[in-house]
């Protein structure tokens, strides 16, 4: 299932129990907001977080920012009621945590359908060893699944790996999830970067994620938005090259040629298609930034 191209460069978690954060999110330059009922909320604040998120999204005011609500797991005391509560809310997707097998997607879809959320898209967290090993099957399991979000903090813990700058302990898991996303036409968002004072490290992590094929990065603080937006967007040189590739390829097609050289490099149909995607993303970003 191929989903509509949307900029998801910066996907910011906002704790549902923090009313001020939910208000502030209306002014931030993030492409997407994850209003969180799960990890960012203490057990005794779960009900409050649910109520505040319901109020916030019903009130609106988030502009063109994509709104996703992360519920608690269906195996927790809150998850089932969370899912029912968001089924008919004016949001863009519901995010399921710690998905381990395809049945969890199907169960969530069934509950949503039963309570009026017939078309609400589903996102999933990939953050457990079981989920990673099953990711190919999960990613193809339901047409309403539209994005994978890496939960690299939980995954690092479960793998007994280390947080290292090169993320060597996570590379296999990250790569498998990117493959599963691309095979099934899903977007995929990289995990968070925890050190808010290490801007150079954050830039490097964004660059690595972009180069691996991720569409954007989940964030834990508004100060990370600008860097993510910059790195996961096509730069000026890439846009200029994309225009050149499209123009040259179209001329080659008119002349009956199957290949053409642009800037000393061979260009084929695959480069033409990627140039089209890049320009479409650029246009979508421009539209989002003028309407947010």
Q: Supply the mean pLDDT for the chain.
A: 95
Of 61, 123, 137, the C-alpha closest to 86 is 123
Confidence category of residue 271, pLDDT binned at 50, 70, 90: very high
How does pLDDT run across 180-206, given as a tens digit for each residue?
999 999 999 999 999 999 999 999 999
- Paired with 12 in beta bridges are 33, 219
Of 65, 55, 62, the C-alpha closest to 6 is 65
pLDDT attached to residue 136: 98
State the burial class of residue 219 (Cβ atoms within 10 Å of its Cβ: 0-12, 13-18, 19+). Answer: buried
Q: Where are the alpha helices (DSSP H) in 60-150?
A: 79-86, 102-114, 129-133, 135-139
State the burial class of residue 139 (Cβ atoms within 10 Å of its Cβ: 0-12, 13-18, 19+). Answer: buried
Is residue 57's pLDDT more than 80? yes
Max CA distance (Å), the chain: 69
* Mean pLDDT (whole number) for 33-56: 97
Distances in Å between the Cα of 196 and the Cα atoms of 83, 193, 202, 219 are 32, 8, 8, 10
Percent of the chain whose pLDDT exceeds 70: 98
Confidence category of residue 292, pLDDT binned at 50, 70, 90: low
Joined tokens for residue 238: 């890439």
* Mean pLDDT (whole number) for 88-93: 97
pTM value? 0.94
Centroid of chain to Cα 107: 22
Contact present, 187 and 181 (Cβ < 8 Å): yes
- Paired with 66 in beta bridges are 32
- φ, ψ for residue 228 (rounded to 5)? -60, -45
State the burial class of residue 57 (Cβ atoms within 10 Å of its Cβ: 0-12, 13-18, 19+). Answer: buried
For the chain, how many residues are written? 292
Centroid of chain to Cα 269: 28
- How far is residue 25's CA from residue 225's CA, in Å, rounded to a whole number? 12
Contact present, 94 and 108 (Cβ < 8 Å): yes
Confidence category of residue 281, pLDDT binned at 50, 70, 90: very high
List Cβ neighbours of 102 (8 Å cut-off, separation of 6 or more). Answer: 134, 137, 138, 141, 142
CB atoms within 10 A of CB 282: 18
């Amino acid at each position: 299932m191929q989903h509509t191209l949307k900029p998801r460069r910066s996907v910011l978690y906002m704790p549902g129990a923090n009313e001020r954060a939910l208000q502030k999110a209306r002014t931030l330059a993030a492409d997407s907001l994850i209003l969180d009922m799960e990890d960012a909320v203490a057990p005794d604040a779960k009900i409050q977080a649910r109520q505040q998120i319901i109020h916030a999204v019903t009130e609106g005011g988030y502009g063109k920012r994509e709104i996703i609500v992360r519920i608690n797991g269906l195996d927790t005391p809150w998850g089932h009621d969370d899912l029912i509560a968001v089924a008919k809310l004016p949001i863009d997707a519901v995010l399921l945590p710690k998905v381990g097998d395809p049945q969890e997607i199907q169960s969530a879809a069934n509950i949503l359908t039963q309570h009026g959320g017939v078309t609400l898209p589903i996102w999933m967290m990939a953050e457990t060893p079981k989920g990673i090993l099953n990711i190919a099957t999960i990613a193809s399991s339901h047409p309403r699944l539209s994005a994978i979000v890496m939960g690299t903090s939980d995954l690092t813990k479960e793998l007994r790996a280390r947080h290292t700058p090169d993320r060597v302990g996570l590379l296999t898991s990250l790569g498998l999830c990117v493959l599963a996303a691309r095979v099934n036409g899903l977007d995929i968002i990289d995990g968070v970067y925890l050190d808010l004072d290490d801007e150079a490290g954050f830039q490097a992590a964004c660059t690595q994620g972009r180069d691996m094929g991720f569409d954007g990065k989940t964030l834990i603080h508004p100060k990370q938005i600008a860097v993510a937006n910059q790195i996961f967007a096509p730069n000026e040189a890439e846009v200029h090259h994309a225009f050149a590739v499209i123009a040259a390829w179209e001329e080659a097609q008119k002349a009956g040629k199957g290949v053409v050289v642009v800037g000393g490099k061979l260009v084929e149909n695959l480069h033409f298609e990627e140039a089209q995607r890049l320009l479409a993303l650029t246009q979508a970003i421009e539209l989002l930034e003028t309407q947010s």
